[in-house]
């Protein structure tokens, strides 16, 4: 096995040797497992992380799966500058109010002090809007459907590996449309695309819905989100899709000559998914033994551990290599761990910790019997499998694990979703075992804020379909929607 | 055809409608064609460009082809922070001297003034070296073979689309090895990989060699480069590969316990290819009619233009679509331009300008005869081809065009490479038609500088094999190597 920078030690800032049990301290477990499995590490820059090869491989798989879907729906990629002049960032009033406290400012270039500070993009509406104003002139130029993969910097006070870091990676789509209806359609199409993507690839069931006004993106008319429930019962916003209305179009002068020759502002959307998703996968599927990766985004889907008896390099290894080749030919991402310096037992624990979905053991006795041993990471079941038809059996098993992880997460969410009829009940639920609480809400920010102050729970999102009815769980006024509340990351 | 942000107008900063002939003003032609074909545009940030979808699609193809090769040689990808504390950047003395004048500094985060300014990475040796010092402890951890795809900022005074921009995109490999020999082997392996990559994918013949000491990377022991000759006879450095020796290891304390238990510094390498390559492709293959893309990196390899006679949407379009499907099934990147608003003649000129390798025309008469018309972008030849076996014919044609562009560039380079026996001859050649001039060199920076002062030509690189002999073209001392000189970008 080539050692490609994913060596064995963590070192520095508290070497990680033992992993805190998940039930004992979820947050500590989370950090331990990331560092011990070498997904990421702290850097010398406050709040910035290093995504190590094993973690970055997951991001590459996320990128592939998502980029394919983004392109299949007619979008194209481009790249806009990292730096945004202050004067542009401040053009949209809500936008600057929302992001100004989080901006990193470049004030010096080489030896010269800059006349105007440049923001490192906290998001790219301002720079992209400026270019769209230049490029778009007629309804014939619409829609513009552009996405970019980029790094983002937001000055965060409290950071956490993957979930909230000063710099993170994401994709951001920015589109321009002729009509309000088209922009709304795009916003919801992408929300659906995100839901299908995370559910299919990450085995992460999510609730799609609309954000309340107080939780919407700075400068948006409407924000939609998908929300997942983590293993500790807290919610994680997994992606957002914003209908920007004409807010940015008016701030940046993005106008076009309409079919009736009148001059109109375009209708915009923007939407993104970030490296925090990796944190979500860890928190949703992991257990006390470490990571549990859904096969579709696992860097290694299968690890082969040959059992070293006698002259195993002559007897066992060729069989292991043949299986490696068979699986690779089937498109399975497989790793053959033939290192001498480690025992099979050590390797079992190591790859379990690293979340590899299937472990395949092969020793002299297995070869005699024409079989191998398989161990599922999700259920930790062991089963023997015939050497004949093995590759197809493993492909099926990977699909079964993917499905099973998704089902398990759905069941967990169902078990951690309650409906509250009264505010007392509402508060009581949130004091006990956390999870989603569904309750009617009157639509006022006041109730939303009071609920947060009383329970720490925030309004995650509101159903896409009409759900008016009942009375607000806090104030007793008529309910405009049945909201999902939860404590959240 | 979906309009995905690659609309028809340029607008702003001098709308581009006509393209300056290449022979009249090469530099103007270059900028015109980039903006007119919507590969890139100027941004509101000085020296920063926007890479538009058509240009970014080329970068994506470059990334795919190169990433595959980097991984096939055992490297893995990771991601390191954008921001580097000033104290780290200054640890390696030559490195900071080389890069300090080009650094953009972040001095404010949110509302707080930073105690220590943060550099936006001008290259990542400093931050990666810091992490390697933490991760590497034993010879068992070596080699470390990591690559990253990232954006880079260097404060440039004079900028030019793709070729030299304040922000650019690149990949940077950073490796750590047990011995000096291994580091040198890696440096040369990557140089060879780069050469094979640009020659195969970009049809760009290059001269591989070693840089002189005055042209090497700030902090490196040895720098190697590949150098291409552009259509105007100027050289372009297409990629570099650096042997860092133990310079960064000593500056950052990257040490390991060796096999003999002694504590040693690792031997490092770093290497990169940037978005400037896109500029190189444009300048190497383009002509007065616009871009000419080698098929392997052309966003669209074939454009189908149906000829609109009578009720063509019923008669011609279904045939065009069937051909589209056939070609797509063969893995050809094909575009069907069925827009009503433009005439075939307009479309021909447009896709020629945009460098699509093959245009396929199909009209009622072609359908009757069971054929189509093909037009090669490189030679502008037109030929008819039978509908039967068409997809295979086009796959062959694309390979032929790729080969032919490479051969044409080799011929051009040969015609523009001279050997100089005396300094007078040397100067005379460089006053006339530019290109490479090969001449013995004594190894002194003094002669190198004088040559540059006298002729504007720089020493591009020195052969990998021993080429000592003759006498220095400038001073008459014994020649240590036969160098390639040229005026360069």
Write out residues 283-302 of B within 8 Å (CB-CB) of A: none
Residue A111 banded pLDDT, cuts 50, 70, 90: confident
Chain A residue closest in CA terms to B77: A53
Cβ contact, residue pair B151, A155, below 8 Å:
no
Residue A100 banded pLDDT, cuts 50, 70, 90: confident
Strand stretches in A83-181, DSSP E: 83-85, 104-109, 112-120, 144-153, 167-177
- A1 close to B (CB below 8 A): no
Cβ contact, residue pair B130, A44, below 8 Å:
yes
Per the prediction, chain B carries an average pLDDT of 94
Mean pLDDT to the nearest integer, B456-471: 96
Mean pLDDT to the nearest integer, B46-60: 97
State how far residue A411 is from chain B, nearest Cα, in angstroms: 35
Residue B184 banded pLDDT, cuts 50, 70, 90: very high
Give the whole-number percent of chain B exceeding pLDDT 70: 97
Mean pLDDT to the nearest integer, A220-246: 97
Mean pLDDT to the nearest integer, A35-60: 97
Of A2, A41, A105, the CB nearest to B108: A105
Contact list, B107 vs chain A (CB under 8 Å):
105-108
Strands B235-245 and B267-274: antiparallel
Among A77, A79, A116, most B C-beta atoms within 10 A, so best to mutate, is A79
Mean pLDDT to the nearest integer, A386-392: 96
Contact list, B48 vs chain A (CB under 8 Å):
81-83
Question: How far apart (Å, rounded) are the C-alpha atoms in residues A78 and B5?
Answer: 9
Cβ contact, residue pair B108, A111, below 8 Å:
no
Kindly report the number of other CB atoms within 10 A of residue A62's CB atom. 24
Among B57, B73, B81, most A C-beta atoms within 10 A, so best to mutate, is B81
Cβ contact, residue pair A82, B120, below 8 Å:
yes
Kindly report the number of other CB atoms within 10 A of residue B432's CB atom. 10
pTM over 0.90: yes
State how far residue B315 is from chain A, nearest Cα, in angstroms: 26
What confidence tens digit (pLDDT) does each residue in A428-476 have?
A: 999 987 899 999 999 999 999 999 999 999 999 999 999 999 999 999 9
Mean pLDDT to the nearest integer, A374-396: 97
Residues A470 and A480: beta-carbon distance below 8 Å: no
State how far residue B199 is from chain A, nearest Cα, in angstroms: 25
What confidence tens digit (pLDDT) does each residue in B210-240 have?
A: 999 999 998 999 999 999 999 999 999 999 9
Cβ contact, residue pair A83, B167, below 8 Å:
yes
Residue A177: which of A240, A89, A248, A124 has the closest Cα? A248
Residues B244 and B94: beta-carbon distance below 8 Å: no
Write out residues 132-191 of A within 8 Å (CB-CB) of B: 134-137, 140-146, 150-151, 153, 155, 166-167, 169
pLDDT at A75 over 60: yes
- DSSP letter, residue B331: T
Mean pLDDT to the nearest integer, B321-343: 96
Please tell me the predicted confidence (pLDDT) of residue A408: 98
Please tell me the predicted confidence (pLDDT) of residue B2: 36
Give the whole-number percent of chain A exceeding pLDDT 90: 91
Of A9, A78, A134, the CB nearest to B137: A9
Strands B83-85 and B112-120: antiparallel
pLDDT at A14 over 80: no
Of A11, A50, A145, the CB nearest to B5: A145
Please tell me the predicted confidence (pLDDT) of residue B9: 36
- B1 close to A (CB below 8 A): no
Cβ contact, residue pair A50, B136, below 8 Å:
no
Cβ contact, residue pair A77, B53, below 8 Å:
yes
Place of tokens 């960064």: B248
Cβ contact, residue pair B48, A81, below 8 Å:
yes
3-state secondary structure of B21: coil
Write out residues 24-53 of A within 8 Å (CB-CB) of B: 41, 43-45, 48-53
Cβ contact, residue pair B140, A3, below 8 Å:
yes
State how far residue B128 is from chain A, nearest Cα, in angstroms: 9
Which residues have a Cβ under 8 Å from the Cβ of A419 and sit 6 or more positions away?
A437, A438, A439
Contact list, B56 vs chain A (CB under 8 Å):
76-79
Positive or negative, the CA dihedral A163, A165, A170, A172 is: positive
Please classify residue A377 by burial: count the beta carbons closer than 10 Å to its beta carbon, then call 0-12 exposed, 13-18 middle and 19+ buried. Answer: buried
Contact list, A109 vs chain B (CB under 8 Å):
103-105, 155
Cβ contact, residue pair A3, B143, below 8 Å:
yes
- DSSP letter, residue A100: G
Q: Return the number of CB contacts < 8 Å for A and B.
A: 226
Per the prediction, chain A carries an average pLDDT of 94
Chain B residue closest in CA terms to A64: B64
Domains in chain B, start-ordered, CATH in brackets?
26-285 (3.30.930.10), 295-412 (3.40.50.800), 417-486 (3.30.110.30)
B193-221 CB burial, b ≥16 within 10 A, e <16: bbbebbbebbbbbbbbbbbbeebbbbbbb
Contact list, A167 vs chain B (CB under 8 Å):
81-83
Contact list, A105 vs chain B (CB under 8 Å):
106-109
- B384 close to A (CB below 8 A): no
Give how far the C-alpha of residue B159 lies from the chain's centroid of Cα atoms, to the nearest Å.
16
DSSP sequence for A290-320: B----GGG-S-SEEEEE---SSHHHHTHHHH
**Tokens (6 digits) for A405:** 């992880």
Chain A residue closest in CA terms to B87: A44
pLDDT at B6 over 50: no
Give the N- to C-terminal CA distance of chain A in Å, as an integer: 37
Reported ipTM: 0.95
Mean pLDDT to the nearest integer, B418-430: 94
Contact list, A133 vs chain B (CB under 8 Å):
none
Cβ contact, residue pair A143, B3, below 8 Å:
yes
State how far residue A11 is from chain B, nearest Cα, in angstroms: 6
pLDDT at A193 over 80: yes
Mean pLDDT to the nearest integer, B15-37: 91
Chain B residue closest in CA terms to A55: B78
pLDDT at B5 over 70: no
Place of tokens 């003649």: B345
**Which of these ranges, A276-280, A419-423, B11-15, B481-485, has the smallest mean pLDDT?**
B11-15
Contact list, B127 vs chain A (CB under 8 Å):
43-45
Cβ contact, residue pair B135, A7, below 8 Å:
yes
Of A43, A75, A111, the CB nearest to B131: A43
- B385 close to A (CB below 8 A): no
Of B4, B141, B143, the CB nearest to A74: B4
Give the whole-number percent of chain A exceeding pLDDT 70: 97
Strand stretches in B363-475, DSSP E: 371-376, 382-386, 417-419, 436-441, 458-461
**Tokens (6 digits) for A303:** 């690890």
Residue A54: which of A344, A396, A389, A297 has the closest Cα? A297
- DSSP letter, residue A212: P
DSSP sequence for B259-319: TTS-EEE-EEEEEEEETHHHHHHHHHH-BTTB----GGG-S-SEEEEE---SSHHHHTHHH
Write out residues 413-452 of B within 8 Å (CB-CB) of A: none
Please tell me the predicted confidence (pLDDT) of residue B15: 60
Residue B146: which of B186, B174, B127 has the closest Cα? B174
Query: Helices (H), strands (E): how many in chain B?
Result: 15, 23
Cβ contact, residue pair A120, B106, below 8 Å:
yes
Residue B14 banded pLDDT, cuts 50, 70, 90: low
State how far residue B79 is from chain A, nearest Cα, in angstroms: 5
3-state secondary structure of B116: strand
Question: How far apart (Å, rounded) are the C-alpha atoms in residues B245 and B254?
Answer: 12
Write out residues 326-345 of B within 8 Å (CB-CB) of A: 341
Residue A4 banded pLDDT, cuts 50, 70, 90: very low
Contact list, A59 vs chain B (CB under 8 Å):
79
Contact list, A107 vs chain B (CB under 8 Å):
105-108
State how far residue B457 is from chain A, nearest Cα, in angstroms: 27
pLDDT at A38 over 90: yes
Sheet of B104-109, strands arranged across: A83-85, A112-120, A104-109, B104-109, B112-120, B83-85
H-type helices in A202-268, by residue range? 247-252
Please tell me the predicted confidence (pLDDT) of residue B368: 95
- A5 close to B (CB below 8 A): yes
Give how far the C-alpha of residue B51 lies from the chain's centroid of Cα atoms, to the nearest Å.
14
Q: Higher-confidence residue: A24 or B4?
A: A24
């Amino acid at each position: 096995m080539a050692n490609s920078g994913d060596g064995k030690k963590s070192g520095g800032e508290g070497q990680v040797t033992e992993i805190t049990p998940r039930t004992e301290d979820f947050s500590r477990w989370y950090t331990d497992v990331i560092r011990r499995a070498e997904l990421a590490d702290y850097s010398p820059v406050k709040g910035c992380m290093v995504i190590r090869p094993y973690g970055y491989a997951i991001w590459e798989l996320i990128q592939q799966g998502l980029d394919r879907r983004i392109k299949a729906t007619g979008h194209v990629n481009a790249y806009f500058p990292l730096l945004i002049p202050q004067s542009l960032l401040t053009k949209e009033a809500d936008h600057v109010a929302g992001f100004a406290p989080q901006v990193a400012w470049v004030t010096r270039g080489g030896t010269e002090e800059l006349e105007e500070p440049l923001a490192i993009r906290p998001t790219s509406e301002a720079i992209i809007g400026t270019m769209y104003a230049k490029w778009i002139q007629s309804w014939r130029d619409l829609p513009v459907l552009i996405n970019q993969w980029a790094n983002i910097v937001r000055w965060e006070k409290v950071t956490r590996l993957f979930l909230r870091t000063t710099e993170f990676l994401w994709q951001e789509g920015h589109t321009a449309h002729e009509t309000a209806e088209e922009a709304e359609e795009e916003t919801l199409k992408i929300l659906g695309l995100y839901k299908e993507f995370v559910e299919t690839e990450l085995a992460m069931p999510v609730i799609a819905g609309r954000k309340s006004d107080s939780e919407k993106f700075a400068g948006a008319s409407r924000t939609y989100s998908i929300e997942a429930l983590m293993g500790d019962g807290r919610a994680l916003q997994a992606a957002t899709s914003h209908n920007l209305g004409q807010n940015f179009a008016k701030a940046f002068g993005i106008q076009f000559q309409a079919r009736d020759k009148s001059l109109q502002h375009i209708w915009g959307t923007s939407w993104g998914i970030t490296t925090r998703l990796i944190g979500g996968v860890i928190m949703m599927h992991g257990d006390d033994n470490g990571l549990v990766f859904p096969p579709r985004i696992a860097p290694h889907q299968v690890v082969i551990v040959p059992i070293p008896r006698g002259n195993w390099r002559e007897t066992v290894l060729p069989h292991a290599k043949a299986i490696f080749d068979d699986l690779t030919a089937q498109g399975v991402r497989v790793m053959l761990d033939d290192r001498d310096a480690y025992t099979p037992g050590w390797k079992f624990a190591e790859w379990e910790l690293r979340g590899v979905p299937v472990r395949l053991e092969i020793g002299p006795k297995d070869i005699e019997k024409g079989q191998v041993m398989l161990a599922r990471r999700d259920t930790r079941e062991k089963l023997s499998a015939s050497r004949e038809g093995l590759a197809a059996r493993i492909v099926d098993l990977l699909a079964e694990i993917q499905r099973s992880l998704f089902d398990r997460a759905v069941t967990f969410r169902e078990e951690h979703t309650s409906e509250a009829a009264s505010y007392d009940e509402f508060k009581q639920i949130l004091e006990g075992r956390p999870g989603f609480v569904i309750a009617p809400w009157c639509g006022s920010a006041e109730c939303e804020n009071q609920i947060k102050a009383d329970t720490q729970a925030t309004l995650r999102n509101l159903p896409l379909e009409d759900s008016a009815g009942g009375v607000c769980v806090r104030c007793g006024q008529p309910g405009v929607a049945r909201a999902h509340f939860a404590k959240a990351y």
